[in-house]
Structure 1
Amino acid sequence: MLDSAAIDVRAVQRRTIRVLLGTQIIFAVVMAMASPVTALLVQDFTHSPTLAGLAQAATIAGGVLAAVPLAELTVRRGRRVGVTSGYLVAGIGAATVVIGGVVETFLLVLLGTTLVGAAVAAGLQARFAATDLAEPDQRGRAIGIVVWASTFGGVAGPLLAGPSDSLARAIGLPEFTGPFLVIGLGLALSATAAHLWLRPDPLLLSRSLADSANHPIKTSKLRPTLRILARTPEARRAVIAVAVVHAVMVSGMNMASLHLHHGGESLEVVGAAISVHLAGMFLLSPLFGWLVDRFGARGILGLGLALLMLACGILQTTHGNSVTGIMVGLVVLGLGWSAGFVAGSALLTGSVEESARPHAQGVSDLLMQLAAAAAAFPAGAVLDAWGYPWLARLIAIPVLLVAIHLAVSARRIRPANNQN
């Protein structure tokens, strides 16, 4: 049992945020290389675009598969063990990808990329670790600061792919395996930092402060947690909103890249479009976190949904492959995701009792990633059949439905319950 009386909780929270910032920056930088390099590696020795796409999808699947087990481990052992374990498993996966590339065995690469997905689950969990010791009126800022660290991934990550690949070839490794060496080393570094410095464990300390000895934390599985979320209206709304916000962002971003590429734009233009989108996603997340704390999570979630609707409106006008229109739309799409993601995460944290939070957070991340994966398949078909403007119109529908539900439900909640 932690001696909570002898601990300066504010100092621990500041230390926790610093450690999470460091681990998230490293995580974001190295993981930015994973998806594009995976496709290139598999394509190189299988000559199959289908298998290359399958290997890319395996990382998403790995994140989905790891979400609930990591939440369960977190409940039992704390945030430090949960985050560290996710990064270590992913580091092993990166090493497996390198071995699979050396022996040119697709199944090994597939296994490795699936394990790498555990880092995605751990990285998502890190934003919730920032809230364990935060005051209720500072949770938004805590989440926003950790999300902001991912900015570095979009900027620095792709720049490391070329040099790391050149280094790997210099020591006799196959082309495209070098980035996975860097990914493995970076994740090992993040795991080590979390293991050494994420202490006292924020979740365990939070429990100690709440006198959890008198209220034991019970382990739970997926179905009981889903029942808890279903019985808690505000938590249910938060989970649905985060899932929709993430799925719409992923569909709009990924298909914009294909739309530009099919329209004959260069890779430089495509890269620039994605870069401005990533800037919209991450750069202002601390601001949105502050707004959540100042005006309430529900209000900023509504702002995020409104920005997503505006983005869809801009993108649906991009007939004739308007690069400027697409870039503006992608920036607004990123801003909408940022506001909705930060606010939805804070709303979920504030609406579930402490003993159920880690499970609820893990299930939310699971559903969020499943929603994004499920949206990716029809998005491609819509793009091929009707074009990108129609995709923008269709993905606006779930955003509008969530916004209407949020507005209607607000009338049934007393103003005091709107603050999180």
Structure 2
Amino acid sequence: MVTVVDVRAVQRRTIRVLIGAQMVFAVVMAMASPVAALLAQQITGSAGLAGLAQVATVAGGMLASVPLAEFTARRGRRLGVAAGYLVGAVGAAAVVLGGVVASYPLLFAGALLTGTAVAAGLQARFAATDLVEPERRGRAIGTVVWASTIGGVVGPSLAGPSDSASALLGLPQFTGPFLVIGAGLVLTAAATFVWLRPDPLLLARSLRGETHDPRGQGVMRTARALAGNPAARRSLVAIAVVHAVMVSVMNMASLHLHHGGSTLRVVGFAISVHLAGMFLLAPVFGWLSDRIGGRRVLALGLLLLLASAAVLQSTSGHDTGLVMGGLLLLGLGWSAGFVAGSSLLTASVDEELRPRAQGFSDLLMQAAAAAGGLLAGSVVEFWGYPWLARISAVPVALVAIWYLLAARRGTARA
């Protein structure tokens, strides 16, 4: 008996599950890095060790990207994404235990494991593309990215109530948020495992007549394939540059405003404006990618980033309105570039290589952001925030020139 699958119905269900899981994930993970830093400082009394704990979740996401993509390629999106969330929940429990026994190594290891959930959250956007028609790929990615909006709004405000809950349970200060993080990640893992059926990646393979992962050689085969694919190389670099510039300029903006005398409330509002730019219009940029092409929307994103740099390089910390305007442009530029770049990457590689290629992209993107963040601090310390804005424009302009030259040669793929 042949079972007829309504692919569009499965895709709609997939999108609904991903949106719900991404909302919960974004809310709880918004607390992870800042609270890990506070807990680490309480245990050690060292600002340096606290800073390491703060970046541990990012480092964990970076380290988990390729292994999680490899697991996904072999076992499917449902198990891959759910496993990433579940490992993250184990990490959150380890952080709580580290706080209870006042062990910094255990806290740091837990924060690294919690970062696995970051890798799963990033790869969730690609799960939306496995069954979608090519002309709707951008919208699918943009919709899942948009679901993270609530995390930027609600997530940080949960830290205080969550910490109060830890006191009621007799736990040390700053462990409560990680209890909530662990519970939220268990919930997202369970929802993904139970409801992401049929698995979109495995179903897409079966519809192509494949019954297993056709590229069993894994990581090295993927690396060689990406190295020999000009369109994929451009997409990988574009996503990495867009993300690294956004993270570097955004992270130092709070310091820039603080030096100018802005209150914490003003700084928080400025970051909220930036987050609104990042997420609210993601579905619009996805729709535009489908209508006018990913390269044009990527170009729009690069232009918005350059406009942001032009605004921010002329500001002092006292220019609150201009800084907020620049951060809004920065968020919009990231949104357009991230959604369009992800769509271009997916289109540039064969279906069987996509999960691994997407994992490589997340690895490169997070590594670039980490490096950019470290360099940004030194630039601001020695030359000031306006110079960071000016320097950030350089890689953006180089990517734009690269795409322009490729388009003129007629080798770029839409």
Q: Same fold (TM over 0.5)?
A: yes
**Shift of the alpha carbon at 1:264?**
2.7
Query: For 1:52-91, what aligned pairs fall within 5 Å after superposition?
Result: 52-91=50-89
Q: Which runs of 5+ in 2 are unaligned?
A: none
Give the structure 1 partner of residue 383 of structure 2. Answer: 386
**Shift of the alpha carbon at 1:9?**
0.3
**Separation (CA, whole Å) in 1 of partners of 2:157 and 2:139:** 29
**Shift of the alpha carbon at 1:262?**
2.8
Give the structure 2 partner of residue 250 of structure 1. Answer: 247
**Shift of the alpha carbon at 1:157?**
0.4
**Shift of the alpha carbon at 1:49?**
0.5
Query: For 1:249-288, what aligned pairs fall within 5 Å after superposition?
Result: 249-288=246-285
**Separation (CA, whole Å) in 1 of partners of 2:47 and 2:259:** 16
Render the CA deviation track for 1:46-78: whole Å, top value 9, x for unaligned. 111101000011111100110011101001100
Structure 1 residue 338 corresponds to structure 2 residue 335: yes
TM-aligned CA distance change 1:203 to 1:4, over 3 Å: farther
**Shift of the alpha carbon at 1:226?**
2.1
CA RMSD of aligned residues (A): 1.3
**Separation (CA, whole Å) in 2 of partners of 1:145 and 1:409:** 29
Render the CA deviation track for 1:211-253: whole Å, top value 9, x for unaligned. 124x951234444322211211111110000000000000010
Give the structure 2 partner of residue 23 of structure 1. Answer: 21
SS of the equivalent of 1:83 reads: helix
**Count of residue pairs the alignment pairs up:** 414
**Shift of the alpha carbon at 1:108?**
0.7
Query: For 1:285-300, what aligned pairs fall within 5 Å after superposition?
Result: 285-300=282-297
**Separation (CA, whole Å) in 2 of partners of 1:167 and 1:293:** 46
**Shift of the alpha carbon at 1:89?**
0.3
**Separation (CA, whole Å) in 1 of partners of 2:2 and 2:21:** 25
Look up the equivalent residue of 1:143 and give its one-letter code: I
Give the structure 2 partner of residue 157 of structure 1. Answer: 155
Render the CA deviation track for 1:180-203: whole Å, top value 9, x for unaligned. 000000000000000000010000
Give the structure 1 partner of residue 191 of structure 2. Answer: 193
**Shift of the alpha carbon at 1:323?**
1.1
Give the structure 1 partner of residue 299 of structure 2. Answer: 302
Partners of 2:141 and 2:286 within 8 A in 1? yes
Render the CA deviation track for 1:378-406: whole Å, top value 9, x for unaligned. 11000000100000000100000000111
Match 1:92 to one of 70, 90, 101: 90
Look up the equivalent residue of 2:323 and give its one-letter code: I
Give the structure 2 partner of residue 119 of structure 1. Answer: 117
Partners of 1:220 and 1:359 within 8 A in 2? no
Q: Which runs of 5+ in 1 are unaligned?
A: none
Render the CA deviation track for 1:99-141: whole Å, top value 9, x for unaligned. 1001111001000000000011000000000000000000000
**Separation (CA, whole Å) in 2 of partners of 1:237 and 1:289:** 19
* Percent identity of paired positions between Structure 1 and Structure 2: 65
SS of the equivalent of 1:173 reads: coil
**Separation (CA, whole Å) in 2 of partners of 1:312 and 1:226:** 33
TM-aligned CA distance change 1:320 to 1:144, over 3 Å: closer
**Separation (CA, whole Å) in 2 of partners of 1:151 and 1:320:** 27
Greater mean deviation of Cα atoms: 365-374 or 315-324 = 315-324
**Shift of the alpha carbon at 1:4?**
8.0
Partners of 1:298 and 1:343 within 8 A in 2? yes
**Shift of the alpha carbon at 1:146?**
0.1
